[in-house]
Amino acid sequence: MNEILKIIDQRRSTRAYAETPITEQEKALILNAAYRAPTAGNMMLYSIIDVTDPIIKERLVETCDDQPFIAKAPLILVFLADYQRWWDYYNLCGAQDRASELGVTNRKPQAGDLLLACCDALIAAQNTVIAAESLGIGSCYIGDVMENYEIHQELFNLPQYVFPIGMLCYGRPVQTETQRHRVPRYDPEFMTFENRYQRLDDAALTRMYASNNERLFAQGQPVQGALNFGQHNYLRKFTAEFSFEMSRSVEKMLENWQ
Ligand SMILES: Cc1cc2nc3c(=O)[nH]c(=O)nc-3n(C[C@H](O)[C@H](O)[C@H](O)COP(=O)(O)O)c2cc1C
């Protein structure tokens, strides 16, 4: 394996950070990795918020499903799917009027544009993860930033066509984090198909999750009443309060976007 592949293979999420700050130079390198990521039509349909205010960090602990380690991260970047900038520029340029004159059908940013902007934002985010790792800086995604849309809208001053699709906490891992085992992945046979999608049958699904099931009941802490790994996951994640909130929040954002 070359160095880049080793970094990708060895990475794990870091949730406990050493006191050592991230230097301005390191931050610049991490951000440059975001900017150099592939981007649809070279439009850079995202913005990044560098959260430096400790009060905002503390607020994010609460609004992102009560995760205290967030406030302890030396660097927090929020990745915003952003169509506002292009939409404002189109308006500045009189694009809609000109389109009308030319007989071209006008439209506003729609669901497809949102998804494209989310792709851009997350691809940029993942580049920063690898860049940070290469500098000895760990990171952890916070998907819960999709929750509490109205609060985050106010907190970050977000206009209509901007949505926080992901947040990353970065910092050098404390020793216990570097010693933690890497979370295993599912067998590639269930993940990649040749030419056509293959829906897994009961036998394949049972095989796919068999080791999770074994580990959960050997050394894990199954949710009370769960009789297998599927039930455990459904009760712990899919029907958890944060999942309901995430769906509510995203629907609210979609209403506003459209
Ligand atoms: C979209 C996304 C959202 C995530 N949200 C959180 C989160 O809110 N809190 C957290 O501790 N980890 C979060 N993670 C990290 C995952 O839990 C982690 O990547 C997964 O358990 C695999 O572990 P690994 O990254 O160490 O390989 C998130 C990861 C992704 C990709």
Question: pLDDT at position 203, please?
Answer: 98
CB atoms within 10 A of CB 21: 13
C-alpha–C-alpha distance, residues 155 and 73, integer Å = 19
Ligand 1 pocket, mutate which of 142, 182, 185 (most atoms under 8 A from CB): 142
Mean pLDDT by 10 residues, the chain (258 residues): 96 96 97 98 98 98 98 98 98 98 98 98 98 98 98 98 98 92 95 98 98 92 95 97 98 96
At residue 95, the pLDDT reads 98
- How much distance in Å is there from the Cα of 135 to the middle of ligand 1? 20
Contact 209, 229 (CB under 8 A): yes
Q: Residue whose CA is closest, atom 28 of ligand 1?
A: 141
Measured in Å, residue 140 CA sits from the centre of ligand 1 at 6
In the three-class reduction of DSSP (H, G, I as helix; E, B as strand; rest coil), residue 206 is classed as: helix
- What are the structural domains, with CATH classification, of the chain? 3-182 (3.40.109.10), 184-258 (no CATH)
* Best mutation site among 7, 8, 13 for ligand 1 pocket (most ligand atoms within 8 Å of CB): 13
Residue with the smallest CA separation from ligand 1 atom 27 is 12
Q: Is 141 in the pocket of ligand 1 (CB under 6 A)?
A: yes
State the distance from the centre of ligand 1 to the C-alpha of 225, rounded, in angstroms.
25
183 lines ligand 1 (CB under 6 A): yes
Q: Is the CB of 140 under 6 A from ligand 1?
A: yes
With 0.85 as the threshold, say if the pTM is over it: yes
Q: Choose which residue among 140, 165, 180, 245 to substitute to test ligand 1 binding: the one with the highest number of ligand atoms within 8 A of its C-beta.
A: 140
- Is ligand 1 within 6 A of the CB of residue 144? yes
* Per-residue model confidence (pLDDT) at position 181: 87
- Nearest Cα to Cα of residue 122 among 81, 70, 76: 81
Residue 60 is predicted with a pLDDT of: 98
**Dihedral sign, CA of 217, 220, 224, 226?**
negative
Residue 13 Cβ contacting ligand 1 at under 6 Å: yes
Tokens 């940070």 identify what position? 132
